[in-house]
Amino acid sequence: MTIEEVDPTSEPARTCLAAYYAELAARFAGGFDVARSCDPEATDMVRPRGTFLIAVADGLPVGCVGLKGSGGPVAEIKRLWVDPAARGLGLAKRLMQAAELAARDLGIRTLRLDTSSALPEALALYRRAGWVEIDRFNDDPYPDHFFEKAL
């Protein structure tokens, strides 16, 4: 399995994102509409502001994570997703580590992320990886947990 940097509008990225959005729609009590979330087009997930990473196994995309930057020292982790068939292999942890490395390479010193109580495995992953819960930092309607990590 490899982790590759791709354009967030590429076909492999769009495949991952479509699966991610479908899973959120199924898991969130009120569904999920990407148009209501922050940066639905992922325009800030490309260098030099950020990046978009996918995990590839046997030529197929099986996971993704975005790094949404503004050009400053703070950026957000967005859209972490792993295909259900690839879960339990530590892939989410590897994607997060790759995103942190990319952030350091871009001069980012602080990462933030938000998530929902409907995703308990994400909450557990972030807490195990040293993320600290902070106050709300955006007006996205879906998350109810907010985290930060100094690099």
Reported as a single tens digit per residue, the pLDDT across 50-71 is 999 999 999 999 999 999 998 8
The CATH number of the domain holding residue 17 is 3.40.630.30
Q: Which of 16, 25, 83 is nearest to 52 (CA)?
A: 16
> Which tokens go with 149?
């990590």
Residue type, 85: A
Q: How many domains does the chain have?
A: 1
Structural domain harbouring 10: 2-150
Averaged pLDDT for residues 65-87: 95
d(CA 53, CA 44): 13
pLDDT digits (tens, 9 = 90+) for 33-52: 888 776 656 778 999 999 99
Of 36-50, 65-79, 81-95, 129-143, give the lowest mean pLDDT range.
36-50
